[in-house]
């Protein structure tokens, strides 16, 4: 959830902890796939170009032997099913500049991984093709979670396939919640409001002196602005609107909903004393506060429990992920992190179909997931790292709760993932899959987050600061940016 979460992440690049640690490798190419129960409606033995070659850029780190071995297993399994198609995997782009270079290159991949937050501008610039017909033809299309699929779409048209896209949530300490008489599993089911959030933080701090009920992570240059964005979105307020006729943008960061979001931080810090002595810390420092027992909850992308484990928590299972409280389900909440495949707009439909076949083959099939995980586990033993793919499967993130395919994939990985467990998430993914997800602002996103950083810093230093006044100032700066 830090300001760098617009970065491109793949399953291979998201937090890996060797041995008995937690690895949330959810996305990209980590769930290798070979198809049996998950074949596309098109015949996989004939779909795609004759003697064709596809380049799939979804490897984040080609020095990681277990993940590279697993990727090779995916390619081999796919080749067995579609012998007329050659798949070459390569490093994915890691940022906007590399994505632009990919698009401009004559050797651009047939499919490649980008951040969820980068998709909307790519659609607007016509840099990605319409994949709706191909995606809807997939046999398991109806099992995909609409809210997550929509992060790679616009008005019912789909331009890519998410690897994972999750809402910003809260990672919480079960023992500290229980100390205040709160039920952590009830929070995993969602449905909490700002009032519940504020009351819980205060109850925990009152019961545990010196503990922040909510550890805010507001250290700049834009982290505070991003945190405020999360609260605004959860309170039903986006950052601007566009006039359909004139196409001009109007900043909307000083509305009553936006003011209430900023005021919530002010009240929790100055009145409730539930945010600890220093809420202006960096994003990763929030997980350290949780791990050391100095905080009960903080904002997080879905990898929060793993981040707390990496921060040295003595009992990692004490920390679980819960949906972020929302006051307006019509707006939903901010995408906390996410990546997915987009496709080349310079290849023919046959190549696009074959590339899509490979992405679902690698990521969403029972045989393939098993093959990938088996290869990962064996490579981890062979290289002495002891690394095991203890993961939240892609299927868990993208397929609906109750999906037969999801259940089959989750079951299939168990022999290869000794510590496999969804206990740290409970109903989090099923709950957030029903929530409308909004990306960070597509237009002038950095300028907006930078402008919103200022009112956050003011209210954290001046107890009598007026949230409306501070947001009026920020909104004027944002409007200037939108006009430029």
Residues 18-57 have pLDDT tens digits of 323 322 222 222 222 222 223 334 333 334 444 478 888 8
Pair 231, 248 in one domain: yes
Q: Percentage of the chain with pLDDT > 70?
A: 82
Pair 412, 460 in one domain: no
Pair 190, 146 in one domain: no
pLDDT for position 142: 94
**How does residue 422 score in pLDDT terms, banded at 50, 70 and 90?**
low
Pair 264, 348 in one domain: no
**Mean pLDDT along residues 386-409:** 74
Pair 139, 201 in one domain: no
Residue 413: which of 360, 362, 369 has the closest Cα? 369
Helix %, strand %, coil % for the chain, to 5? Answer: 45, 15, 40
Helix (H) or strand (E) holding 54: strand 52-59
Helix (H) or strand (E) holding 88: strand 85-91
Q: What's the whole-model pTM score? A: 0.76
Can you tell me whether residue 450 is helix, strand or coil? helix
Can you tell me whether residue 223 is helix, strand or coil? helix
More confident residue, 220 or 232: 232
397, 423, 449 — which closes off a domain? 423
Pair 369, 293 in one domain: no
Which position has the token pair 């707390």? 308
More confident residue, 374 or 104: 374
Radius of gyration of the chain (CA): 22
More confident residue, 419 or 148: 148
pLDDT for position 385: 59
More confident residue, 219 or 16: 219
User: For residue 158, what are the domain limits?
Assistant: 11-165+337-423
303, 24 Cβ separation under 8 angstroms: yes
Pair 329, 353 in one domain: no
CA–CA gap between residue 192 and residue 178 (Å, rounded): 17
pLDDT for position 387: 57
Does the structure show a pLDDT above 80 at 96? no
Residue 273: which of 172, 198, 193, 384 has the closest Cα? 198
Q: Is 75 a member of any domain?
A: yes
Instruction: Please enumerate in sequence order all residues whose Cβ is within 8 A of that of 220, keeping only pairs 6 or more positions apart, or say none.
Output: 453, 457
Q: Is 330 a member of any domain?
A: yes
Does the structure show a pLDDT above 50 at 380? yes
How many domains are there within the chain? Answer: 2
User: Which of 77-91, 170-184, 332-346, 449-463 has the lowest average pLDDT?
Assistant: 332-346
More confident residue, 158 or 330: 158
pLDDT for position 65: 79
What mean pLDDT is reported for the chain?
81
More confident residue, 322 or 44: 322
pLDDT for position 31: 22
């Amino acid at each position: 959830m830090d300001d760098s979460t617009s970065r491109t992440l793949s399953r291979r690049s998201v937090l890996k902890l060797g041995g008995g640690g937690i690895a949330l490798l959810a996305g990209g190419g980590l769930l290798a796939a070979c198809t049996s129960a998950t074949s596309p409606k098109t015949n996989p033995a004939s779909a795609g170009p004759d003697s064709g070659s596809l380049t799939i850029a979804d490897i984040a780190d080609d020095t990681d032997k277990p993940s590279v071995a697993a990727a090779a297993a995916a390619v081999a399994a796919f080749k067995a099913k579609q012998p007329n198609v050659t798949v070459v995997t390569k490093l994915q782009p890691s940022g906007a500049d590399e994505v632009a270079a990919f698009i401009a290159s004559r050797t651009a991949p047939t499919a490649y991984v980008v951040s969820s937050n980068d998709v909307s501008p790519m659609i607007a610039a016509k840099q990605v093709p319409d994949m709706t017909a191909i995606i809807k033809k997939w046999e398991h299309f109806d099992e995909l979670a609409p809210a997550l699929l929509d992060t790679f779409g616009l008005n019912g048209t789909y331009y890519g396939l998410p690897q994972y896209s999750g809402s910003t949530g809260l990672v919480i300490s079960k023992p500290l919640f229980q100390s205040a008489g709160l039920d952590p599993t009830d929070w995993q089911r969602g449905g909490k409001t700002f009032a519940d959030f504020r009351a819980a933080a205060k109850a925990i701090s009152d019961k545990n002196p010196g503990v922040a009920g909510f550890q805010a992570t507001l250290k700049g240059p834009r982290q505070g602005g991003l945190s405020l964005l999360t609260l605004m979105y959860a309170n039903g307020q986006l950052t601007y609107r566009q006039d359909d006729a004139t196409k001009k943008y109007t900043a909307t960061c000083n509305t009553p909903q936006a003011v209430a979001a900023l005021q919530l931080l002010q009240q929790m810090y100055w009145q409730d004393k539930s945010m600890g002595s220093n809420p202006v810390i960096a994003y990763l420092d929030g997980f350290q506060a949780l791990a050391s027992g100095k905080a009960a909850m903080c904002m997080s992308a879905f990898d929060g429990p793993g981040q707390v484990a990496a921060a040295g928590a003595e009992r990692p299972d004490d920390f679980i992920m819960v949906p972020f409280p929302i006051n307006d389900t019509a707006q939903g909440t901010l995408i906390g992190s996410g990546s997915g495949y987009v496709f080349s707009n310079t290849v023919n439909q046959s190549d696009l179909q074959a590339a899509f076949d490979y992405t679902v083959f690698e990521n969403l099939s029972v045989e393939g997931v098993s093959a990938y995980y088996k290869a990962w586990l064996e490579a981890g033993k062979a290289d002495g790292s002891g690394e095991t793919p203890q993961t939240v499967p892609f299927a868990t993130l993208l397929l609906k709760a109750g999906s037969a395919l999801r259940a089959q994939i989750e079951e299939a990985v168990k022999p290869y993932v000794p510590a496999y467990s969804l206990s740290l998430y409970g109903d989090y993914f099923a709950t957030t899959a029903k929530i409308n997800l909004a990306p960070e602002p597509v237009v002038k996103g950095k300028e907006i987050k930078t402008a919103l950083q200022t009112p956050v810093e003011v209210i954290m230093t001046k107890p009598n600061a007026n949230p409306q006044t501070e947001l009026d100032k920020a909104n004027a700066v944002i409007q200037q940016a939108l006009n430029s």
